[in-house]
Amino acid sequence: PRNVVVTGSGSGIGAALTTLLRAQGDRVIGVDLKGGDIDADLSTPAGRAAAATAASEAAGGVVDAAVTCAGTSVPGTAMVTVNYFGTTEFLTALRPALAAAGQPRVVAVGSVSGTQPADPDVVTACLAGDEAEALRHAGRAVADGHARRLYPSSKAALARWARRTAVAPGWADAGIPVNVVAPGIVLTPMTAGLFDDPGMKKVMDTAVPMPLNGYLRPEDVARTVLFLVSGANSHITGQVLYVDGGAEATLRGPEV
């Protein structure tokens, strides 16, 4: 069986993906705060490094695919530490084990929110790999009342990191495709509370219009990931694939 490392495997999209991968015979090595095969806090450099080492060891040094679903939408510094560095540093640490596989694949879960107004200083610091500086700007954004820009910032930076990394030495030339799946609104524990409040539901429907088939179920997103990590994906890399019922096309229009 293939060894597939999934972060955020305990809930929502990561849990749905874990179920589908196991059903098709893959071996999932789940990473989560608690209750995963590997318990780790991806918000810290030490947690990321320990998780990557443990995942690589559990896979016998050969990781066939890595999918990062761990993330949070609570405005604050976790946007930087979990959504961005908890993905990019973790995947970078897994690169040697991915390169050892016959048909390695990487998918990071981004968001259609990555197309929305971001804090350029946070994005720049993230892409520079400067976590301290990114945290400083994130703290400033919170103090200035712009905390709501941090989620889009983390996902915009992630999409740009993936496009850059996909074609950087050691990835495409080592046979490792790197893509982002960017969902619209998905019905998971992350969003559940938001729908209790009719006012908030209206805000979300305006911010993320989904004319095709409405809200996503986690397995709708997981099925797209399943394709991108399969052998059928021989040449797609560096792409941000919006799985969003038309939200990105509505928001950005035809001329991107």
Instruction: Give the footprint of ligand NAI on this chain (CB under 6 A).
Output: 8, 10-14, 32-33, 41-43, 69-73, 82, 86, 109, 111, 183, 185-186, 188-191
Q: Which CB atom, from 40 or from 166, has the smaller least distance to ligand NAI?
A: 40
Q: Which CB atom, from 150 or from 190, has the smaller least distance to ligand NAI?
A: 190
Is position 151 annotated as part of the catalytic site? yes
The least distance separating ligand NAI from the CB of residue 174, rounded to whole angstroms, comes to: 25
- As given in the structure block, the two tokens for residue 108 are 């990071």
The least distance separating ligand NAI from the CB of residue 192, rounded to whole angstroms, comes to: 9
User: Among all residues, whose Cβ is closest to ligand NAI?
Assistant: 12
Q: How many CB atoms lie within 10 A of CB 13?
A: 28
Task: Output phi, psi for 32, to 5 deg.
Answer: -155, 170
The least distance separating ligand NAI from the CB of residue 154, rounded to whole angstroms, comes to: 8
Q: Which residue has the tokens 């908890």?
A: 86
- Contact between residue 251 and residue 213 where contact means Cβ atoms under 8 Å apart: no
Q: Which CB atom, from 13 or from 28, has the smaller least distance to ligand NAI?
A: 13
The least distance separating ligand NAI from the CB of residue 9, rounded to whole angstroms, comes to: 7
Instruction: Determine which one of 84, 151, 215, 242 is catalytic.
Output: 151
Work out the burial of residue 145: count CB atoms within 10 Å of its CB; fewer than 13 is exposed, 13-18 middle, 19 or more buried.
exposed
Q: Residues of 162-181 as b/e, b for ≥16 C-beta within 10 angstroms?
A: bbebbeeeebbeeebbbbbb
Name the residues annotated as catalytic: 151
